[in-house]
Structure 1
Amino acid sequence: MPEFPYSRLRRWPDVEADNLQAHDATDLLLVERALALDVPGSETVVIGDEYGAISLALTAAGRRGIRVHQDLATGRRALARNAEELGSGGFTPHELDEGLLAGAQLVLLQLPKALAELEEIADAVARWAAPDVVLVAGGRVKHMTLAQNEVLGRSFARVQAQRAERKSRLLVASEPLPVPESPPFPVTARHGDLVLVAHGGAFAGSRLDIGTRVLLEVLDLGGPQLRRTEVTRAENERNGGESSRSSGVVNGGRRVLDLGCGTGALAASWALAHPRDRVVATDRSAAAVASARATASANGVADRVEVTHDDAGSALAAGSFDTVLLNPPFHLGASVHTGAATRLFEAAARLLRPDGELFTVYNSSLGHRAEMSRLIGPTDQLRRTPKFTVTRTVRRP
C-alpha cells in the first residue's frame, strides 16, 4: 500500500504559516491504530479531524463509508478541498448526533481542548454507538491531562492510556456505561437579564467570559461615541435623512453582526437592548452556532437573531452591516497565533458599510489597534483595563 501523502494536505481556508501544519503525529497514530483493527469503514466514525488527515488516509487505504464530524467550518472546507485535491472520497459529513454514531464499532477522536466538549462527545458515543464500540482518542502529550481520563471514565468502564509515541498518546475507552435519560449538554446559566445556553465545545461554556463582559459594559453604558451615533441616526430618521435607508437598515433599525459569536451573548444582549435592530450571529464552530441559536431562543429574540455556521462571515454580503461586534480569539487550536484575529478584522472591513462601526474587545497586550486602523479605519480606545481594551473603529469610505 503506498504511503499516504500527508505533506500535500493544506489547512486552507484556515490560517496557513510555516509553523502551522495540516497534520500531526496524533493523526498518524490514530490512522495506524484504525488500520490495525478489522473494522469496516461503514462502522467507523472520525471526530475532530482538523483538516482531513485521518479520514482521507483511511479512505485511501480502502475504508469506505466513514462518517466524519468536524466542529469547525474551516475544517469542513479544508477536508472537502483536500479530498478534491487528492481525488479521494468515501466519507460522509455529519453533525454530532445519532446519525453520526448509530451502529459505530470504532470511533477515532482527536482530543478537544475543552473537557466539556470531551464530556459531550463521550456521552454521545456511549449513548448512540454500538454496545461494543471502542473509542480511541489521541492527543499531544504536552496537552493531555489525567482529567481527560476521568471524563472518559464517566461514560466508559475501561479507559486505558497507551504508551506515548512521537510525543503523542492514545487513550482507549471501551465498555460504554449506561447513560442518563437526558444528555449532559447543552447547559444553561443566567447572568442578570441574560440567559446563556452552551454546548460542550462552545468557548467559555455557559459562563460570561470577562472580555465579553467588559464589551457589554461599554455598550450598555453607551460610551460617548456610541451615544453620538445613536443621536445622529435618530436625528436623520426624524429629518427624513437617507443614512438608514442607504446602509441596509431594516424598518428603521440597524443591521448588526456578532462576528465569532460563541454562545451568542453579544448578539442576544444587543437584540434585547435594541428591539428595532436585526442581528446576525456567525461562528465557525458548530457547537457555538447551536449554542447561540439556543441562547437567542432562551432570551426571546430568535425572531430577530439569525445564526449562521460560517468561516469569518464569508457567505455574508459585503457592505451589508452598520455595526460589527467582535471579541476575537488569540489561539489557533493549541497555538498562540494572531492570524485568527487578522482574518476577522479583514472580514469586518469587507462586511461593514462605509462609516459603519466595529466595536472590539481584546487582550491589552496585543497590538490590534494599529492593525484595525490599517485594515478598516480610524480606531479609538473606549476603555482600557489591565487585561482588556475596548475600541471603536469606523470603516473608512
Structure 2
Amino acid sequence: MTSAVLQTPVGPLTLHRPGGGRSLQAWDAADELLLEQAFERLKGLESPRVLVVDDAFGALTLGLDLTSPEVVSDSAVLNSAVSKNVALNAAIYGVSEVRNWLNPPEGPFDLVVMRIPRHADYLAWLLRWINGVLADTGVLLAGGMIKHLPDKSVDVFAEAVETEAVLPARKKARVVVCRAGVARLAEWQGQWKGYSLGSGQSVQALPAVFARERLDIGTQLFLPRVCEAVAGLVEGSRVLDLACGNGVVGLGALSVRPDLAVSFSDVSSQAVASARRNVMDNFPDNEAEFHHADGIPSDCGSFELILLNPPFHEGGVVGDHIALKLFRQAARHLAPNGCLLVVGNRHLGYHRSLRQTFSDVTQVDANPKFVAFSAKRPQAVGRS
C-alpha cells in the first residue's frame, strides 16, 4: 500500500487512494482549499452540525474529524476508503457511517462541504437537495478542480442557490461559497430522465447514472447476447447485473426469462435507486435483489450468469483497473460452469484482461467500437 501525507489546518493526515495507479494521491488542491475554508467558517461556532458530500477518498471526512461530520456519498468506494485511511491515522476517530442516497442524512446542517461533480445534472440535483438540509444561517462550500467543473456550472449554481462568493483560484482549484436558495428537488423536472425500449418497457434514472437519457451503443450490442445467454439457463438460475446503471441489462434478461433470480449491483447509490424503480415499474411482482457496493458483495453467493458493462473511469482516471477488479470478483462468484458476459470499448483490449482471470474467453459479438466476450472456467484468483 502506497500512501502520502496531506497537511491540514489541524495537522498531517496519511492517506491512501485505492486503485488507479500507485502515483495518484487520495486528495487534490480542491480538498486542501475546502478544508482551509471550512475551518475558517467554523471559528466561533459552538457544536456545529457539519455534512460532507461526495468526498472522494476520505480527505474531507478525516480532515474534519474534530467536528464529527456526517457524510453522504453516491459512491460505495468512499466507505472502504475511509475505513482504510482511518486505520492509517491513530488519532482519527472516523465516522460511524457513510450514508448514501438510498439512506440520506437529515438536516439542518450549519456547514456543508461538497466536492463539485463533473456532470451538470448531478450538480443541479445536489444543490437542490442541499437547499433542503441547510440551516437558515448555514453555508455551503463547494469545491473542485477547475478543469473538472461541469459546463455552465455558473448557471447551475445561479438557478439553485445564492452564491455569496467565488474565491480566488489556487493550484487550479476553485471554491464557491453559497447560501440556500429556494429551488427544491420536488419541483425540479430534471430529477428523472429516461427512454423507452423496443420491448415496450421504459427506464428512468437519476442524474448520477450513466447514459440515463438514451441506450448507449455498447448496451445495444450487448442486449441480444444477453437474451441468448439467459434463454438457455435452467429455471430459477441466479443472474447478476454487475455495474447495473439504470438496470437495463438485467431488465433485458427478465424480459426473456422472468423466472430467473436477478440481482443488481452498482457502486452508485443513484444507479441502484434507478434500477430498483425500473424493476418495480416493469416487473412489479419480481423479487429482485439490489446491492449498493464496490463490485460484488462478498456474501452474495454464486451466479450462473454475470452480466457486465464495466466503467472505465473513476475520479478522472481512465483505464482498465476497475474492470480488472470486477473480473476477479466475478470469477470468485461464478457457479460451476457459470459464465461472465462482458461488453467493452474495443480499444480497452478486454480479451487480454479477461485471459488473466479466465481460461476460456470467446468473442461473441463486435462492431467497430465495442466487443462482447463470454468468459468461463476461472483460473485461481486472489483477493481484490
TM-score (norm 2): 0.87
Q: Name the counterpart of 1:32.
A: 36
Q: After superposition, where does 1:1-397 map in structure 2 within 5 Å?
A: 4-6=11-13, 8-11=14-17, 14-15=18-19, 17-38=21-42, 39=45, 42-59=48-65, 62-64=66-68, 66-87=69-90, 88-89=92-93, 91=95, 92-96=97-101, 100-158=105-163, 160-179=165-184, 181-183=186-188, 184-192=190-198, 193-220=200-227, 222=228, 226=229, 230=232, 252-301=235-284, 303-317=286-300, 320-396=302-378
Shift of the 133–114 alpha-carbon distance from structure 1 to 2, 3 Å rule, reads same
Write out per-residue CA displacement over residues 272-313 of structure 1, whole angstroms, 9 at most, x where no aligned residue: 211121111111111111111111111125623211111210
| Aligned-partner Cα distance in 1 for 2:54–2:124 | 14
| Aligned-partner Cα distance in 1 for 2:344–2:285 | 27
Deviation at 1:42, TM superposition (A): 3.8
Matched-pair identity in %: 29
| Aligned-partner Cα distance in 2 for 1:142–1:126 | 26
Check conservation: 2:101, 2:270, Cα contact below 8 A: no
Q: Secondary structure at the match of 1:341?
A: helix
Q: Which letter maps to 2:35?
A: V
| Aligned-partner Cα distance in 2 for 1:41–1:364 | 53
Write out per-residue CA displacement over residues 317-374 of structure 1, whole angstroms, 9 at most, x where no aligned residue: 45x1111100011112111121001001111111112321111110011111122123
| Aligned-partner Cα distance in 2 for 1:354–1:151 | 50
Check conservation: 2:265, 2:292, Cα contact below 8 A: yes
| Aligned-partner Cα distance in 2 for 1:54–1:134 | 16
| Aligned-partner Cα distance in 2 for 1:383–1:80 | 41
| Aligned-partner Cα distance in 1 for 2:145–2:250 | 35
Q: Which letter maps to 1:348?
A: A
Q: Secondary structure at the match of 1:102?
A: coil
| Aligned-partner Cα distance in 2 for 1:213–1:369 | 20
Check conservation: 2:82, 2:94, Cα contact below 8 A: no
Shift of the 37–51 alpha-carbon distance from structure 1 to 2, 3 Å rule, reads same
Name whichever structure is richer in strand by fraction.
2
Shift of the 31–259 alpha-carbon distance from structure 1 to 2, 3 Å rule, reads same
Name whichever structure is richer in helix by fraction.
1
Larger radius of gyration: 1
Deviation at 1:16, TM superposition (A): 5.0
Q: Secondary structure at the match of 1:307?
A: strand
Please identify, of 172-181 and 200-209, the stretch whose mean Cα deviation from structure 2 is larger. Answer: 172-181
| Aligned-partner Cα distance in 2 for 1:42–1:33 | 15
| Aligned-partner Cα distance in 1 for 2:115–2:338 | 40
Shift of the 51–180 alpha-carbon distance from structure 1 to 2, 3 Å rule, reads closer
| Aligned-partner Cα distance in 2 for 1:178–1:219 | 41
Deviation at 1:181, TM superposition (A): 4.3
TM-score (norm 1): 0.85
Check conservation: 1:190, 1:196, Cα contact below 8 A: yes
Deviation at 1:15, TM superposition (A): 1.2
| Aligned-partner Cα distance in 2 for 1:305–1:26 | 40
Deviation at 1:175, TM superposition (A): 4.3
| Aligned-partner Cα distance in 2 for 1:103–1:396 | 50
The size of the alignment, in residue pairs, is 366
Check conservation: 2:164, 2:177, Cα contact below 8 A: yes
Shift of the 126–394 alpha-carbon distance from structure 1 to 2, 3 Å rule, reads same
| Aligned-partner Cα distance in 2 for 1:186–1:116 | 10
| Aligned-partner Cα distance in 1 for 2:309–2:50 | 37
Q: For structure 1, which runs of at least 5 residues remain unmatched after alignment?
A: 234-243, 245-251
| Aligned-partner Cα distance in 2 for 1:313–1:175 | 38
| Aligned-partner Cα distance in 2 for 1:16–1:4 | 27
| Aligned-partner Cα distance in 1 for 2:178–2:89 | 32
| Aligned-partner Cα distance in 2 for 1:146–1:362 | 27
Q: Name the counterpart of 1:249.
A: none
Q: Which letter maps to 1:165?
A: R
Shift of the 176–289 alpha-carbon distance from structure 1 to 2, 3 Å rule, reads same
Deviation at 1:159, TM superposition (A): 5.8
Deviation at 1:204, TM superposition (A): 1.8
Q: Secondary structure at the match of 1:130?
A: strand
Shift of the 257–180 alpha-carbon distance from structure 1 to 2, 3 Å rule, reads closer
Q: For structure 2, which runs of at least 5 residues remain unmatched after alignment?
A: 1-7, 380-384
Check conservation: 2:26, 2:57, Cα contact below 8 A: yes
Q: Which letter maps to 1:270?
A: A
Q: Secondary structure at the match of 2:88?
A: helix
Deviation at 1:41, TM superposition (A): 5.8
| Aligned-partner Cα distance in 2 for 1:256–1:217 | 16
